[in-house]
Amino acid sequence: MHDTILLNKISQGLEGCCKSNKILRINRLTVIVNENSHVNSDNLHEYLRSYNGNLVGDWTEIKTEIGDLPDQTAIIRNIEGDTAEK
- How far CA 59 is from CA of 53, 56, 62, in Å, comes to 11, 7, 10
The CATH number of the domain where 56 resides is what?
A: 3.30.2320.50
Q: What pTM, to 2 d.p., does this model score?
A: 0.92
The domain in which residue 14 lies consists of: 2-83
Segment 13-55, tens digit of pLDDT: 999 999 999 999 999 999 999 999 999 999 999 999 999 999 9
- What single DSSP character describes residue 23? E
d(CA 61, CA 29): 6
User: How many independent structural domains does the chain possess?
Assistant: 1
CA dihedral 23, 35, 37, 67 (to 10 degrees): -20
d(CA 45, CA 30): 11
Instruction: Name residue 75's beta-bridge partners.
Output: 32
